[in-house]
Amino acid sequence: MNKLTLWFHTLGSPPYFHRLAGRLAPWLFAGAVLFAAAGLYGGLVVAPPDYQQSDAYRIIFVHVPSAWMSLFIYFVMAVNAFIALVWRIKLAEVLAMACAPIGAAFTVITLATGAIWGKPMWGTWWTWDARLTSELVLLFLYLGVIGLYQAIEDRRQAARAAAFLALIGIVNVPIVHFSVKWWNTLHQGSTVRLLGPSAIDASMLWPLLLVALATKLWFVASLLVRARVELLALEGGKEWARAEAQRAEGTP
């Protein structure tokens, strides 16, 4: 077995993951808060007002990173769901299920901030265009995964059923992303592009990227913490979980 596969096997072991996640999470949370503070200060105070929307555009510093996360987290969830379905790795099941509430929260933030911006700028809170509708479907997929996971008694069977739904739902992710290209939508096209120049001035772009980095770190930290709790609940009867609980209580 080569080193990389060996590392994956070690990482997949619940006690090892529990310890590693416990050590990493505080640092990731700290980084997230730091970058979010810097990014939001840059976005809300330092960045210049837009030539058409003046200060109202500043909601993109929350809206766009959240929208990216709503898609990114779904992708992470689907990858874990795939691993869980094929290899039946307990950790992958736990990680996939821990993704869903975080992704749902980011999707809600995206929809809410979009509506708040849409009312003054477009003139409406909501319209059934392709981008808005597919993002709403994304929220329902997240809620479906959470609901299905909670509805089945046996935790591992529940995780597998919900993982299946999560994996099927991945087809919606490219639809959300390309909806503004494929159809005539009220929602504007992508501003920040990976390939080619972005349609946003550099003075407005850097705070956006900082907040995006902060949301990524927050997601990973939140995921690790949630997965730790879920793992302890699943492995409650095992030796390492008891030892962990005893250490937390301070008894030998």
Partner 1 sequence: MTPTRKRRLIAVALILGAVGIATALTVFALQQNMTYLYTPSEILAGKVPEGARFRIGGMVKDQSIERGQSLTVAFVVTDGDGDMRVEYEGILPDLFREKQSVIATGSMQGDRFVATEVLAKHDENYVPRDVAEAMGKAHAKHVKPKE
Kindly list the residues in this chain that would bind partner 1 in the complex (CB under 8 A): 47-54, 56-57, 60, 82, 85-87, 120-124, 127, 129-130, 167-168, 170-171, 175, 182-186, 188-191, 199-201, 203-204
Q: Which is nearer to partner 1, 32 or 59 (CB)?
A: 59
Return d(Cα 26, Cα 222) in angstroms, integer. 10
* Minimum distance, C-beta of residue 84 to partner 1, in the bound complex (Å): 10
End-to-end CA distance of the chain: 37
Least distance from partner 1 to the Cβ atom of residue 53, Å: 7
As measured in angstroms, the least distance from the Cβ of 139 to partner 1 is 18
Nearer to partner 1, 10 or 124 (CB): 124
Residue 192: half-sphere exposure toward Cβ, Cα within 13 Å: 15
Compare residues 13 and 188 and give the one whose CB is closer to partner 1.
Answer: 188
54: left (phi > 0), else alpha (psi -120 to 50), else beta? Answer: left
**Which C-beta is closer to partner 1: that of 56 or that of 136?**
56
CB of 207 to partner 1, least distance (A): 12
Nearest CA among 102, 96, 118, 97 for reference residue 69: 102
Contacts by residues 169-175 (CB-CB < 8 Å, ≥ 24 positions apart): 169/74, 169/78, 169/138, 169/141, 169/144, 169/145, 170/74, 170/75, 170/78, 172/74, 172/134, 172/137, 172/138, 172/141, 173/71, 173/74, 173/75, 173/78, 173/138, 175/130, 175/134
Residue length of the chain: 252
Give me the least distance between CB of 18 and partner 1, in Å please.
25
Beta bridge partners of 54: 50
**CB closer to partner 1, 188 vs 246:** 188
Of residues 140 and 240, the one with the C-beta less far from partner 1:
140
What is the closest distance, in whole angstroms, from the C-beta atom of residue 245 to partner 1 in the complex? 33
CA-nearest of 37, 117, 111, 39 to 70 is 111
